[in-house]
Amino acid sequence: MELLAQVLVGGVLLGGLYALMALGLALVWGVLNIVNLSHGALIMLGAYATYYLFTGTGLDPFAALPITAIVLFVIGWLIQRGILNLVIRGPMFNTLLITFGIEVILTYLAQLLFSADFRAINPPYAGNNFRVLGITIPLMQVLAFAIAIGLTVAMWLFLLHTRVGRGIRAASQNLVAARLYGVNPRSIYALTFGIGSALAGVAGGLYGTVSQINPYIGGPLTAKSFAIAIIGGLENPLGVIVGGLVLGIVESLTALYAGSTYRDVASFGVLILVLILRPTGLLGRTT
């Protein structure tokens, strides 16, 4: 029973990080109607930005996250205004191909600049942990979980209670009405993609504190983010928290009872089950 509790806690902590990973993809998908296949590459760049801020300047990795967010926001803003904005009204297949191409380019640039070696962000307190009711909880995972959930909730409040957030929601629901509301679609789209990229960058920085990174982590993380967005539902920003927690717990239980080889099988099995039983996601509206 203690082992099961340990695994469940680990799954919840992992799920919180997964939720933040998926939040940027879900935001861009919901507003721009673009399934951003370069999302995982942006997570990877965020991990490397945080890594080099830590190793190059000695800045604590958690203190480096705001800088990482700014860097990735600029990269995302430039990608949207310079590339995606040119095909924003084109078929979704075109945007899929373009974002896939961006993912490939960013991956190979990262390999050229950073090499394919595995790296990890290990501050002096990386090995610290504490025990609660007999369960060992790693400090780094708790910090990553707290920041991930805090940012996800903060984004939800931002979308609900700020003028810019309402403009983003309006653009996602009815673009004609949004124009009447005074929303400039070009600016909102670039801002949304920049915010999504910033969230991906922070998620990457947190991922680097709990796992190893290399230039090729992007593809699997894009797939997981996609699954989480579908499982939780795109209509409710808190859906990614539910989707992330579900995926984290399922993967942890699968690793315990079936072996880590089957983690991805279980994750995408849950995705298929949700698509069959509740196509709008766990928190999506039903018709």
What pLDDT is stored for residue 264 in this prediction? Answer: 79
Name the pTM for this structure. Answer: 0.90
Q: What is the mean pLDDT of residues 234-240?
A: 73
Long-range contacts (CB closer than 8 Å, 24 or more residues apart) made by 162-171: 164/191, 168/27, 168/31, 168/192, 171/31
More confident of the two residues 232 and 62: 62
pLDDT, tens digit, for every residue of 166-185?
777 777 766 666 666 677 77
What pLDDT is stored for residue 235 in this prediction? Answer: 65
What pLDDT is stored for residue 78 in this prediction? Answer: 94
What pLDDT is stored for residue 283 in this prediction? Answer: 65
- CA 72/CA 220 separation, integer angstroms: 19
149 forms bridges with which residues in the sheet? none
- CA 241/CA 225 separation, integer angstroms: 11
What pLDDT is stored for residue 177 in this prediction? Answer: 64
What string of DSSP letters covers 19-77?
A: HHHHHHHHHHHHHH----TTHHHHHHHHHHHHHHHHHHH---TTTTHHHHHHHHHHHHH
Mean pLDDT, the chain, rounded, equals: 85
